[in-house]
Amino acid sequence: MTDALIIGGHGKVALLAAPMLGDLGFSVTSVIRDPEQSADIEGTGATPLVLDITRVTPDEWDTLLARFDVIVWSAGAGGGSPERTYAVDRDAALAVIDSLERLRDAGQTPRFINVSYLGATHHRVPGNDSFYPYADAKKTVDDRLNSTVGLEYLILGPSALTMEPAVGYATPTADLPREDSHTSRELVAEVITVFADRSSLPADRTVEFVDGFLPAGEI
């Protein structure tokens, strides 16, 4: 059985992805900060793991991540203070990447799927915009991943998220402007599942997608 860890397990995308992974035979563990969310996690078929990801030591990350074949980063501060955003969306994610590099050096290469957002690596959000800490954190993490060697990783770039049912995906083009596009959270969960289960990852380690009509399994 393939073991999967979802970091940010109570997020809307994660709650959709956990049962999809379970349906494919994955054993799923979902990291949450609030123990009161445990019942929601169990309802998806996953095992809850209560953990404050801003307080995990390097050794603790190494011990935890070594147990899993697939690791999904879907955590986020959810629009909290800039300090909280940087602590979760940047610093904790960077700590996970550092741990993955140490595991690589020890001969382990778990697959890492990082949920980012469309255009993160070339964002132009001004510094005085309230969205800037999130955009800056995501760019920092994506750039860090893209500078690594020997990691099996993928960055997912959905656009503005909705709770609409998934129909299919499309690839953003000049005729489908980023600012006018949306992505169903259910579609993001489907794409996570597709790449968690696929035998190999694409050479282009950033996959950007929006709502469309192509089957998610063909992405």
Angstrom distance (rounded) from CA 82 to CA 126: 14
Partnered with residue 6 across adjacent β-strands are 30, 72
Expressed as residue numbers, the domain containing 150 is: 3-218
pLDDT at site 176: 54
Angstrom distance (rounded) from CA 173 to CA 115: 20
Number of domains the chain contains: 1
Angstrom distance (rounded) from CA 186 to CA 110: 24
Using N-to-C axis directions, what is the helix angle for 93-105 and 58-65, rounded to 10°? 70
Close Cβ partners of 153 (under 8 Å, ≥ 6 residues apart): 100, 111, 112, 113, 114, 145, 201, 205
pTM listed for this prediction = 0.96
Alpha-carbon distances of 170 from 83, 95, 131, 162, 197, rounded to whole Å:
35, 32, 25, 15, 20
Q: What is the mean pLDDT of each run of 10 residues along the chain (219 residues)?
A: 97 98 98 98 98 98 98 91 96 98 98 96 89 95 98 97 97 68 96 97 96 96
Spatial CA neighbour of 4 closest among 98, 96, 18: 18
Q: The CATH number of the domain where 11 resides is what?
A: 3.40.50.720
Spatial CA neighbour of 73 closest among 180, 170, 151, 127: 151
pLDDT at site 78: 84
Which position has the token pair 């596009």?
A: 181
pLDDT at site 124: 87
